[in-house]
Amino acid sequence: MAWQNPNGLVQAMHSIRQAAPLRPFLQRSVLSASPILSASSTTTTTTTTRLFKQPNSKRSYATEVDSVDFVAAPPVDLNKLPARLVPVSPSYFSGSPKFVDHLLNLESILAKHAHLPIVESNQAPRMAWFKLAQFRDFVGEPVPTKKYKGLLKILQRLNRIDRKLMPHEVKSTIEKFLRPGNPYDLKPAPAQVDEMGRGRGRGKRKSSSAVAFLVEGDGEVRVNGKTLVEAFPRVHDRESATWALQCTSRLDKYNVWAQVQGGGTTGQAEAITLAVARALLVHEPALKPVLRKAGVITVDARRVERKKPGHVKARKMPTWVKR
């Protein structure tokens, strides 16, 4: 510390005395460097102050060396100013102007045609809207997910307008946000009875897959060339395989010939259930509501849960013994 060393304390006081006279010169140089423009004169003389250092010395001093003349700017003529540029888009200064323009346009169209009758959501035609990545490429802006979901809600509301009364303005606006090649428009051709009078259906359950052919007959059922009793010894499996015919009272009206492979008896029986139901729809499409209510044309996507390492089965743990 300086107070512990007498020589250091003397040197510190000497440096303070040398720095004190320099401050007025620095203040004068800063004040003189800014030109003062007055309304009466167009030129201003400013004195420049520079700092010099004597050779072989640590002390600096300031001196005035020369003067500089500054010319003031001419007066501004307001009549000759260029016209103010007005952006074309009202959302030009927003973060994503193109997206906001689309959103404002959809909101205005919705407010204009909000009085038109609408249909239920499940009755409106399905539309393949732009995915988020595709919409970002479409507008060329980083649109957030939350904002894009709000735009989709407006599109879905416009899509619910009755097609018979939907204006051309709404149709053309909706088509701008559709993916090229609407996949929902590509519907498979309905299955038909072949030249031999058979209706064909396929079904899967777990690891089993089945193909069933239905033809008008007296109720005979064959599975892989065997009778129903030989193929499925359990009564529950036999009822499952023919449940589509039983719930519609068609058990003695059609003959069934099925081929099934993979899995166990339960999976094979339920795979035949789905295959027979689909083949029955080929003959009588009007039975779809009844079969839907019976649950025989709904695909059961449940699978056996996989075994985990260290477990006996999927979730069963080995018995823990303390001693």
CA dist., res. 184 & res. 125, Å (int): 9
Residues 111 and 155 in one domain: yes
Q: Give the tens place of pLDDT for each residue, 155-206.
A: 999 999 998 999 999 999 999 999 887 777 777 788 899 999 999 999 999 9
Residue where a domain stops, chosen among 177, 206, 232? 177
Prediction pTM value: 0.51
What lies within 8 Å, CB to CB, of 60 at 6+ separation is 22, 51, 52, 53, 54
Q: Give the tens place of pLDDT for each residue, 116-162.
A: 999 998 899 888 999 999 999 999 999 999 999 999 999 999 999 99
- Kindly state the DSSP code that residue 88 receives in the 8-state scheme: S
User: Dihedral, CA atoms, 258, 262, 263, 269, nearest 10 degrees?
Assistant: 0
**How far is C-alpha 310 from the chain's CA centre?**
39
Tell me which residue range forms the domain holding 259.
198-294
Indicate whether 7 belongs to any domain. no
Task: Please give the tally of structural domains in the chain.
Answer: 2
Which neighbouring-strand residues pair with 52?
A: 61
Q: Which structure tokens are listed for 323? A: 């001693």
Q: Give the tens place of pLDDT for each residue, 239-275.
A: 999 999 999 999 999 999 999 999 999 999 999 999 9
Q: Which structure tokens are listed for 6? A: 């007498």
- Do the beta carbons of residue 268 and residue 236 sit within 8 Å? no
Closest alpha carbon to 242 in 226, 230, 258? 258
CA dist., res. 202 & res. 239, Å (int): 18
For 110, other C-beta atoms within 10 Å of its C-beta total 16
CA dist., res. 302 & res. 304, Å (int): 7
Q: Give the tens place of pLDDT for each residue, 37-68.
A: 334 444 445 455 554 455 555 554 445 545 55
Q: Is the C-alpha dihedral spanning 169, 172, 176, 179 positive or negative? A: positive
For 174, other C-beta atoms within 10 Å of its C-beta total 19
Closest alpha carbon to 154 in 99, 217, 195? 99
Indicate whether 172 belongs to any domain. yes
Residue where a domain stops, chosen among 177, 212, 246? 177
Which CATH number do you get for residue 217?
A: 3.30.230.10
Indicate whether 122 belongs to any domain. yes
Q: In the predicted model, is pLDDT for residue 107 greater than 80?
A: yes
What lies within 8 Å, CB to CB, of 239 at 6+ separation is 246
